[in-house]
């Protein structure tokens, strides 16, 4: 096994890690403010990917794929909040969790009914990889990295540099105190669900650009995203991103040992070891609101 091969695997691991980090950050936002792990995140990402695929039928390029995919996923996320999760806000968190699982199966079933189980790809132009020493880089890979980094930066800027972001962190810290201080929790929740859906949409469309689009792709994304969320400490945005990168690198670098089919299990092995050694996560000292 040559060093060039490992370098290319590590590069692919960073790309996969950024995609997983987007989904993990979406889960973290919902958990930090709405107080439950949203199991529908992966399938919202799938809807975003298929929305982007629909745009390609009209001749749309990468920007159109991302734009329509993100808008569709954000709108679907907000719709789920308005018709379901808002009514469950006063119930125990397990009620919202179970509802999100049901939504995930429902969305997957609807997609399967209309598009079947076949894998599809975005009809993007095929370009030759550019060599950077031992590294072979597709121009599409650079676009995926740039979009993922910009999306992550935009969310962190929203959380820390805007008034609504400060309100989101206040609600995450103490919902009752935030309401007593005059913060409109409903507006905060609307913005949060839009952000969570947009992140899922970016993650799904980027995964579709990098690999294939199928109704099951959200499930394959959800499991590493949950592992990254727990690894980086639930409710910690920075931890979710770093956890996603670690999971992505672990999965790709393990490919020569376990093969492509079983590499997803490596992320859970990392998670299992972390739960045994440090169950509170890597960044337990840093919460969403800090």
* Per-residue model confidence as pLDDT tens digits over 242-271: 999 999 998 888 888 877 777 777 877 877
pLDDT at site 49:
96
- Average of per-residue pLDDT across 140-162: 94
pLDDT at site 1:
56
pLDDT in tens, 273-282: 877 887 777 6
Which residues share a beta bridge with 213? 120
CB 288 within 8 A of CB 169: yes
* Separation CA 229–CA 21 (nearest Å): 8
Calculate the CA 6 to chain-centre distance. Answer: 25
pLDDT in tens, 88-136: 988 999 999 999 999 999 999 999 999 988 899 998 887 788 888 788 8
Fold adopted by 3-118+137-277? ABC transporter involved in vitamin B12 uptake, BtuC (1.10.3470)
* 264 phi and psi angles, rounded to 5 deg: -65, -25
CB 30 within 8 A of CB 262: no
pLDDT at site 61:
82
pTM of this structure? 0.92
* Separation CA 115–CA 9 (nearest Å): 32
CB 231 within 8 A of CB 282: yes
The average confidence (pLDDT) of the chain is: 88
pLDDT in tens, 25-41: 999 999 989 889 999 99
3-class SS of residue 237: helix
Residue 149 pLDDT more than 90?
A: yes
pLDDT at site 285:
54
């Amino acid at each position: 096994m040559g060093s060039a091969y490992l370098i290319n695997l590590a590069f692919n691991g960073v790309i996969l890690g950024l995609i997983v980090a987007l989904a993990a950050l979406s889960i973290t936002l919902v958990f930090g403010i709405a107080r439950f792990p949203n199991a529908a995140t992966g399938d919202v990402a799938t809807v975003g990917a298929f929305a982007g695929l629909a745009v390609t039928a009209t001749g749309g390029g990468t920007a159109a794929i991302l734009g329509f995919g993100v808008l569709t996923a954000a709108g679907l996320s907000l719709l789920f909040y308005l018709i379901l999760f808002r009514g469950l806000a006063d119930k125990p968190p397990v009620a919202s969790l179970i509802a999100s699982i049901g939504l995930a199966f429902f969305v997957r079933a609807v997609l399967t009914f209309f598009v079947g189980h076949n894998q599809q790809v975005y009809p993007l132009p095929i370009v030759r990889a550019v060599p950077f020493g031992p590294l072979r880089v597709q121009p599409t890979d650079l676009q995926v990295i740039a979009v993922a980094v910009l999306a992550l930066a935009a969310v962190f800027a929203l959380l820390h540099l805007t008034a609504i972001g400060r309100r989101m962190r206040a609600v995450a810290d103490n919902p009752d105190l935030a309401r007593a201080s005059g913060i409109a929790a409903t507006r905060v929740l609307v913005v949060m669900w839009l952000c969570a859906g947009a992140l899922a949409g970016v993650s799904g469309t980027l995964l579709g650009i990098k690999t294939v689009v199928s109704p099951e792709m959200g499930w394959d994304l959800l499991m590493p995203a949950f592992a990254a969320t727990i690894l980086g400490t639930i409710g910690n945005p920075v931890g979710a991103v770093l956890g996603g990168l670690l999971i992505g690198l672990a999965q790709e670098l393990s490919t020569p040992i376990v093969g492509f089919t079983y590499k997803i299990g490596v992320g859970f092995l990392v998670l299992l070891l972390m739960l045994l050694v440090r169950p509170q996560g890597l960044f337990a000292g840093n919460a969403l609101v800090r």
